[in-house]
Amino acid sequence: MPIRRYGGTIRLVTSAEELEQAIPVIRGERVVGLDSETKPMFKKGQDHLPCLVQIATASVVYLFQLNRMEFSGALTEVLEDPGIIKTGVGLAHDFSSLMRVFPFEPQNIVDLSPVAKRQGFKQTGVRNLAAQLLGFRVPKGASTSNWASPRLTQKQIVYAATDAWVCRELFLRFQKLGFLDREGRPLPRKTA
C-alpha cells in the first residue's frame, strides 16, 4: 500500500496577524479534521500537556504551537462553535488533555473511532482506518519526536498536518459509505 503525506498548504500560526487570518477560514468550514500532539513520555509517571493543535480545512492545515503564543480564546471559539463539525480519532483523550491547558465546552464533535467500531471495524486508529478506507498508509515516524520544541522540523510539520488531514478525509469517506449522515450523526450499521 502506498504511503501518503499531506501535500497541501500548511500554515504554522506564529503571530496575532496569522491567527486573525486563520480563524475566519476555519469558521467558514462545515467540517474540520482535528488532532493534537503531546511531548512523548519515556519514563513512567511523566505527564505532559499538549503542545500542538492541528486543524485541517478543505484547503489548508493550521498548526497551533500552544507554547508559542496565547491561542486559548481563538481555539475555544472554534471548539465551541456548533456550526463546525470537528472530527478526529480518539478525541476524548485530546479534549481531556487540552482542557488542562484551557477550559472549553466542545460542540459538534464526531469521534470516528466509535463510528468505525459500530460498523464492525476491529482496529479503529487513524492509520488502520486510512489503510482500510482510503487505500494508503500514513507514516508514523515523527510521532515520538519532541513536540514541545520551539522550532518544529519539516518532518514534524508534515506529520502533524497529515494526521489532521486524514481525519477530515476519513469523515468524508464515512459519509460517502453511509456510516454518517450530513450532520455527522452515526447511521445504522451497514450489512453486506
pLDDT tens digits for range 35-44? 999 877 556 6
Mean pLDDT of 54-64: 98
145 lies in a domain?
A: yes
Per-residue pLDDT, 146: 84
What's this model's pTM, rounded to 2 decimal places?
0.93
Closest CA to 134 of 116, 157, 161, 156: 116
Average pLDDT of the chain to the nearest whole number: 91
What is the domain count for the chain? Answer: 1
Instruction: Give the strand pairing for 31-38 and 9-13.
Output: unpaired
Q: Residue 132 is part of a domain; what is its CATH number? A: 3.30.420.10
pLDDT at 45 over 80: no
Answer whether residue 49 is part of any domain. yes
Q: Which of 13-17, 47-51, 143-147 has the highest mean pLDDT?
A: 13-17
Would 67 be classed as within a structural domain?
Answer: yes
Confidence class for position 9, pLDDT limits 50, 70, 90: very high
Task: Give tens-digit pLDDT for 142-177.
Answer: 655 788 888 999 999 999 999 999 999 999 999 999
Q: In this structure, is residue 190 part of a structural domain?
A: no
Domain ranges, residue 84: 9-176
What pLDDT digit, counting tens, does each position of 80-112 carry?
999 999 999 999 989 999 999 999 999 999 999
Position 188 confidence tier, pLDDT thresholds 50, 70, 90: confident
